[in-house]
Amino acid sequence: MAQGSAEVNKQYFNDNADSYDARAKASGVIGIIGENILLRREWSGAEWSENTTRVLDYACGTGLISQIIAPYTKQIIGMDISLKMVEKFNEKVRDQGIPEEEMRALVADLCADELDPSLSNSEYHNFDVIVCGFAFHHFSNVKLATERLVERLKPNTGVLLVIDFKSHRPFPSHIANHGGHTHHGGHPHSGHGHHGESAGAVLKALDTVVHGGFSQEDMRKFFEGSGLVDVDFVDVGPNGERGKAITFLGHDDGSGKDINMEREVFMVKGRRS
């Protein structure tokens, strides 16, 4: 992630870590995503076993997805650029009495120009599954992000699962605020709004967004270009329904009001060859 983009995201998610879970759970979006991952375990082609499966939850936030898939894994390691999000993740793990060797998170940016040397340790490689939920549209360099994730998969069997938005029209106020540049899309997933606050009071969630979703062609190019095979897509919707848009509690448009929006969501898989 480019330094400017990374710093904007880091600041925003640090500022909103305390309210993140309440908003995300109120909308039910994370539950829908976790449910779809579990429903499509066989489709993913990954091994899901409490005895062997090691998972990297990249851009893990407070660990909402990790908590849902944990029963089907031996170990989950979360990574996020936000210290406050990581602290919330680890606080929940401690409160549940889960051993650190089974689930923990650390501050890490795999998209940095120069990686922290500690990330070269073997414990941060050879994952059976890497999950990245609603983060790709924040990455300024999606190609680099994909390559860095693929490097950490177990050769021949490791699977990358990415959940994100299909291509969509930008949020109107975001176009206006950025002089009509449409490469920024609306960023409607729950947990990131500004309720009752002026646009200048806090860093707006829309400023963390780089891409207005992705087409299958986009994602196939990133995946196959990074050496992944068996690339496939599935629509994600409530109760496992394909092709049904998910309603998100949208972000403050600067008026102090949140706006509900519907966005179509996909999940894409690819196996490291």
Domain with 120 in it: what CATH number?
Answer: 3.40.50.150
Helices (H), 197-255: 216-225
Beta-strand pair 159-165/265-272? antiparallel
Q: Has residue 266 been placed in a domain? A: yes
- The pLDDT value recorded for residue 135 is 86
The answer as to whether 181 is a domain residue is no
Residue 45 lies in a domain: yes
Percent of the chain residues topping a pLDDT of 90: 52
pLDDT tens digit sequence for 193-231 = 333 333 333 335 555 555 558 999 999 999 999 999 999
Residue 14 has pLDDT above 70, yes or no: no
Query: What global pTM score does this model have?
Result: 0.78
Residue 247: the pLDDT is: 54
Residue 187: predicted pLDDT: 34
pLDDT at 177 over 70: no
Q: Mean pLDDT of all residues in the chain? A: 79
For the chain, the domain total comes to 1
Whether 97 is in a domain gets the answer: yes
Show the domain range for 51.
5-169+199-272
Q: Identify the CA nearest to 56 among candidates 112, 5, 110, 115.
A: 110
Among 202, 205, 187, which residue's Cα sits nearest to residue 248?
A: 187
Over residues 120-174, the pLDDT tens digits come to 999 999 999 999 988 898 788 999 999 999 999 999 999 999 999 898 665 544 4
- Token pair 């994370």: residue: 30
DSSP strand E in 71-199: where?
75-80, 103-107, 129-133, 159-165
Within a domain: 204: yes
Is 189 domain-assigned? Answer: no
Q: Is the pLDDT of residue 184 over 50?
A: no
Model confidence over 231-240: pLDDT tens digits? Answer: 999 998 775 5
| SS3 at position 12 | helix
Residue 231 domain-assigned (yes or no): yes
Is 71 a domain residue?
Answer: yes
- Give the CA-trace dihedral at 192, 239, 58, 143, to 10 degrees: -90
